[in-house]
């Protein structure tokens, strides 16, 4: 049973859930109850040999830290050689993390975390049963050092920068840990493992690494897979020797959050070709199947999140998130929080453009009809601040550049593997933007491909879900590492083919309507095309 715990942030705007998959329970840490044979003259093995040999059949040669060696004789004899061993993965095998007298296997917890640029979501899991015990969300405390990720990356170039950013995110995480622990009636020390889904920059910030080269050619991160770290080494208030694992990334721009999206979609295990689009601060696009995975990324986010539109705003209370335009030009809309509108968010904008196209108020090149230079969405007297909310020709042009960049990127990827648009059989939308977007509108403007709707899947918070799966499942851990190592990344900044395609890609929905049969049918039905 899932309990929502989301006091400091309105849950309507942070994605707490998504597609979930039942996994075969084999968590990142294991809690094993052992009834050891008490020593005798005939069996005078040392305490450590007795323990290691009991664990050997399941775990091989384990690593044992000195503090646990010191604790061992007392723990063994406290409950007549019944002890519980907590083990965690290393890159090379298993390590003893904790020892307790008696049987404490029922108390074994883990934390799955999604660290976004703006928001952080944490889910507490029972690692013995796989059950979710609660979810909590908050703003990323690093926001005080810069709303956007670039400002923070520049900060890590200063000597105290990495420390400040690390401290901020750890403080946010510790707040979530404290809330989740209090609700579940456990202590932080009972959390044995933390798995984190985040983009490459966020992982660098969490680990206190210099992220400055992520955004400078040739875009080299310090690491793409930190392996199994000690949670205490970054200051997380869980078991200090517990594991911290960050989902691996491919290069600077296909982060662990995106790799999680692939994992959750299952596209890497399917023979047919799938397309995954994750639009957040950056836009990441992955094309692939069980044989190959190709990816590219670009700063699509600001545009699609409303950032390039004069009236744009985040998907918060007051934002228009749904727009309908009747054939007679009459506009209806929905406002988050049900109050008066203050601006328009990304999903509202996509709706608006789709509706303008279907109403014949813009042409397929995005030009407003009759040479007008703006479209009034909300008259001044209906808005929150008494000013009109308008979409200008300039707004439309800016937005179409971003949409065109996504289309051009998809075509570059298709071309790189010798496929065409028609080969895409499944489509996955990851991230919060993908969740809130109206599917039909996204197809209408050509942001999403025009394939049967039952094969278009919104993954929801796949970064959190990927972290959850890896925390609970050895098989998913292997899968996620394999995905990260399999992805071939295309750097669009230096790609001439991308530039060429970009020029022709801003048409609505696409230069070639054959790829958009359902949109063609609707446009035709309204007499907008022959």
Please state the closest distance from residue 416 (CB atom) to a copy of itself, in A: 15
* SS3 at position 194: strand
Nearer residue to a copy of itself within complex by CB, 217 or 454:
217
Q: If binding is defined by CB under 8 A, does position 233 make contact with a copy of itself?
A: yes
Nearer residue to a copy of itself within complex by CB, 32 or 234:
234
In terms of phi and psi (left: phi > 0; alpha: psi -120 to 50; beta: otherwise), the region of 526 is: alpha
> Is residue 357 exposed (0-12), middle (13-18) or buried (19+ Cβ within 10 Å)?
buried
Contact call for residues 247 and 257 (beta carbons, < 8 A): yes
End-to-end, the C-alpha distance of the chain in Å comes to 54
* Separation CA 126–CA 107 (nearest Å): 8
Nearer residue to a copy of itself within complex by CB, 176 or 207:
207
Q: If binding is defined by CB under 8 A, does position 217 make contact with a copy of itself?
A: yes
Q: If binding is defined by CB under 8 A, does position 47 make contact with a copy of itself?
A: yes
Smallest CA-to-CA distance from 452 within 425, 433, 475 is with 425
Q: If binding is defined by CB under 8 A, does position 390 make contact with a copy of itself?
A: no
Nearer residue to a copy of itself within complex by CB, 82 or 210:
210
Q: If binding is defined by CB under 8 A, does position 90 make contact with a copy of itself?
A: yes
Q: If binding is defined by CB under 8 A, does position 496 make contact with a copy of itself?
A: no
Nearer residue to a copy of itself within complex by CB, 40 or 381:
40
For residue 392 the two structure tokens come to 């200008």
Sign of the C-alpha dihedral computed for residues 254, 259, 265 and 266 taken in this order: positive
* Pair type for strands 243-246 and 191-198: parallel
For residue 127 the two structure tokens come to 């690692």
Q: If binding is defined by CB under 8 A, does position 39 make contact with a copy of itself?
A: yes
Sign of the C-alpha dihedral computed for residues 111, 112, 114 and 120 taken in this order: negative
* Separation CA 510–CA 421 (nearest Å): 11
Count of chain residues binding a copy of itself (CB under 8 A): 50
Q: If binding is defined by CB under 8 A, does position 7 make contact with a copy of itself?
A: no
Contact call for residues 302 and 308 (beta carbons, < 8 A): yes
Q: If binding is defined by CB under 8 A, does position 160 make contact with a copy of itself?
A: no
- In the set 22, 57, 70, 328, which binds a copy of itself (CB under 8 A)? 70
Contact call for residues 254 and 487 (beta carbons, < 8 A): yes
Q: Which stretch binds a copy of itself (CB under 8 A): 87-95, 167-175, 354-362, 430-438?
A: 87-95
For residue 164 the two structure tokens come to 């400040």
- In the set 82, 148, 210, 474, which binds a copy of itself (CB under 8 A)? 210
Q: If binding is defined by CB under 8 A, does position 61 make contact with a copy of itself?
A: yes
Q: Which stretch binds a copy of itself (CB under 8 A): 27-35, 181-189, 219-227, 263-271?
A: 219-227
- In the set 19, 143, 222, 308, which binds a copy of itself (CB under 8 A)? 222
Binding site for a copy of itself (CB under 8 A): 39-41, 44-49, 60-64, 66, 69-70, 72-74, 90-93, 162, 207-210, 213, 217-227, 229-230, 233-234, 251-252, 489, 491, 494
């Amino acid at each position: 049973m899932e309990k929502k715990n989301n006091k400091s942030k309105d849950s309507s705007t942070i994605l707490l859930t998504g597609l979930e998959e039942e996994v075969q329970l084999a968590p990142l840490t294991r809690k094993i109850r052992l009834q050891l044979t008490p020593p005798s003259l005939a069996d005078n093995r040392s305490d450590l040999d007795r323990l290691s040999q009991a664990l050997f059949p399941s775990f091989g040669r384990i690593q044992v830290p000195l503090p646990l060696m010191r604790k061992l004789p007392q723990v063994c004899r406290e409950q007549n050689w019944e002890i519980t061993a907590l083990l965690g993965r290393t890159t090379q095998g298993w390590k003893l993390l904790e020892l307790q007298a008696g049987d404490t296997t029922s108390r074994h917890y883990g934390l799955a975390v999604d660290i976004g640029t703006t928001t952080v979501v944490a889910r507490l899991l029972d690692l013995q049963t796989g059950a979710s015990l609660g979810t909590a969300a908050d703003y990323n405390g690093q926001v005080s050092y810069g709303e956007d990720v670039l400002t923070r990356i520049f900060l890590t170039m200063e000597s105290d920068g990495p420390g400040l950013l690390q401290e901020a995110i750890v403080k946010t995480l510790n707040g979530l840990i404290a809330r989740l622990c209090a609700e579940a009636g456990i202590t932080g020390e009972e959390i044995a493992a933390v798995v984190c889904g985040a983009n490459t920059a966020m992982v660098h910030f969490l680990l206190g690494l210099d992220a400055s080269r992520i955004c400078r050619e040739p875009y080299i991160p310090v690491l793409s897979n930190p392996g199994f770290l000690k949670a205490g080494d970054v200051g997380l208030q869980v078991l200090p020797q517990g594991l911290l694992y960050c989902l691996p990334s491919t290069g600077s721009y296909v982060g662990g959050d995106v790799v999680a999206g692939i994992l959750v979609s299952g596209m890497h295990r399917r023979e047919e070709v799938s397309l995954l689009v994750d639009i957040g601060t950056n836009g990441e696009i992955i094309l692939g199947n069980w044989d190959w995975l190709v990816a590219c990324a670009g700063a699509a986010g600001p545009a699609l999140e409303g950032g390039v539109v004069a009236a744009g705003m985040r998907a918060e209370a007051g934002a228009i998130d749904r727009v309908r335009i009747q054939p007679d030009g009459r506009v209806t809309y929905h406002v988050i929080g049900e109050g008066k509108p203050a601006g328009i968010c990304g999903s509202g904008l996509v709706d608006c453009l789709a509706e303008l196209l279907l109403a014949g108020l813009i042409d397929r090149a995005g030009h407003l009809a009759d040479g007008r230079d703006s479209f009034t969405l909300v008259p001044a007297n209906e808005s929150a601040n008494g000013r009109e909310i308008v979409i200008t020709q300039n707004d439309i042009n800016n937005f179409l550049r971003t949409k065109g960049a996504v289309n051009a990127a998809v075509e570059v990827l298709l071309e790189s593997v010798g496929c065409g648009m028609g080969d895409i059989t499944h489509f996955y939308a990851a991230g919060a933007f993908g969740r809130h977007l109206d599917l039909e509108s996204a197809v209408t403007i050509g942001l999403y491909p025009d394939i049967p709707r039952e094969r278009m899947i919104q993954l929801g918070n796949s970064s959190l879900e990927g972290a959850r799966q890896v925390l609970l499942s050895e098989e998913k851990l292997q899968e996620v590492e394999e995905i990260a190592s399999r992805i071939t990344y295309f750097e669009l900044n230096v790609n001439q083919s991308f530039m060429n395609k970009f020029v022709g890609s801003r048409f609505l929905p696409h230069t070639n309507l054959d790829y958009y049969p359902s949109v063609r049918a609707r446009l035709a039905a309204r007499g907008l095309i022959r």
